[in-house]
């Protein structure tokens, strides 16, 4: 992980999905932790999310307030952090995705994804990569994350 941490700290866009979000927290690229779902059950469903921050490398193709639907599949998807960390994330606009239509795993403050201060590292529990083709997903809402980062890289 050392090369990835160094690259992220130098500005490389990094996206951690599901267990990848857990790893980003464990390596301290993102604060907090992912724990067992509050219900203690595995959850698998299409999940509505609201884009809270459209200023990251991964969400620049969206507008704040946009809503997307992507699959959620986890047993350890509950985002937790100390209250002061949650307050800091909220104050700094680092909550990137928030659950809508019910919190599937008990994540604090309905948080589905966060970013680092620079906005190049984003972690989220739901799976946007499974919503990039109408044939295999609930739609193509997840595609915007990948076109956002491509746009950022091309313009760099």
8-state DSSP, 125: S
pLDDT in tens, 48-98: 999 999 999 999 999 999 999 999 999 999 999 999 999 999 999 999 999
Distance CA 79, CA 98 (A): 11
Question: CA-CA-CA-CA torsion for 37, 68, 121, 57, nearest 10 degrees?
Answer: 180
Distance CA 63, CA 18 (A): 23
**Statement: 19-155 belongs to CATH 1.10.260.40:** no
- Indicate the average pLDDT of the chain: 96
- Enter the tokens of residue 141: 């809402």
Q: Which residues are catalytic?
A: 18, 127, 129
Side by side, the strands of the sheet bearing 14-17 are 14-17, 121-124, 111-115, 95-100, 43-51, 67-74
pTM of the model: 0.96
pLDDT in tens, 88-129: 999 999 999 999 999 999 999 999 999 999 999 999 999 999
pLDDT attached to residue 155: 81
């Amino acid at each position: 992980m050392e090369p990835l941490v160094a690259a992220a700290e130098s500005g490389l866009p990094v996206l951690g999905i599901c267990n990848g979000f857990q790893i980003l927290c464990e390596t301290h690229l993102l604060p907090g932790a992912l724990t067992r779902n509050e219900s203690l059950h595995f959850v698998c469903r299409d999940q509505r999310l609201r884009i809270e921050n459209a200023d990251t490398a991964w969400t620049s193709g969206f507008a704040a307030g946009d809503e997307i639907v992507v699959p959620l599949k986890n047993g350890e998807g509950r985002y937790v952090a100390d209250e002061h960390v949650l307050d800091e994330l909220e104050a700094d606009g680092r909550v990137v995705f928030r659950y809508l239509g019910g919190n599937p795993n008990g994540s604090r403050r309905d948080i589905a994804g966060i970013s680092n201060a620079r906005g190049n590292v984003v972690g989220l529990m739901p799976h946007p990569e499974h919503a990039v083709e109408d044939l295999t997903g609930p739609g193509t809402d997840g595609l915007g994350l990948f076109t956002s980062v491509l746009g950022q890289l091309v313009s760099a």
